[in-house]
Amino acid sequence: MFAASTNWGLGEVLWAMLYFTCFFIWIWLAISVFIDIFRSPDMGGVHKAIWVVAIFIVPLFGVLAYLIVRGGKMNQHAIEAAKAQDAAMQNYIRNAAGTTPADELHRLADLKDRGVIDQAEFDKLKSKVVS
């Protein structure tokens, strides 16, 4: 038991930890790239297949090339997905609470009539409810 533990020095342990950390970071990046490839509406099927094949043939170079070529698009796709998820959540909350846009407009009109909000705030909130 002790003989096996004395074969590894501190430097070897640190290098092993660094290696596994980099390996798991690469796995995370590869998964993120594959997710982005398949949710990209601006790429056709052939274009997606080329990227997938490139990543399978030369994994490290393929992932790095994708990050260099389409890294900005990845951010845009993530933002669009987050906005779509937020809109779906807001819609679900409205439906679960039983409020409709008409109910919201009545509530806003009541707040304006009582003087809680002014006309500018009413118009801003009304445009949010309508959209």
Inside any domain, residue 112: no
Q: Average pLDDT, whole number, for the chain? A: 87
The predicted model scores a pTM of 0.59
Determine what percent of the chain is predicted with pLDDT higher than 70.
95
Inside any domain, residue 34: yes
DSSP H or E stretch at residue 21 = helix 10-39
Inside any domain, residue 14: yes
Determine what percent of the chain is predicted with pLDDT higher than 90.
41
Inside any domain, residue 6: yes
Q: Bin 81: left if φ > 0, else alpha if -120 < ψ < 50, else beta.
A: alpha
Q: How many domains are contained in the chain?
A: 1
- Asked if the model's pLDDT at residue 121 lies above 60, the reply is yes
Instruction: Give dist(CA 91, CA 78) in Å, integer.
Output: 20
Q: What are the tens digits of pLDDT across the range 37-91?
A: 998 888 899 999 999 999 999 988 999 999 999 988 888 888 988 999 999 998 8
The confidence band for 3, taking pLDDT boundaries of 50, 70 and 90, is low
- CA triplet 94, 116, 93: central angle to 5 degrees? 10
Inside any domain, residue 131: no
In terms of residue numbers, what domain contains 45?
Answer: 2-70
Which DSSP string do the residues of 43-80 spell out, in sequence order? S-HHHHHHHHHHHHHSHHHHHHHHHHHHHHHHHHHHHH
Instruction: Give dist(CA 117, CA 131) in Å, integer.
Output: 20
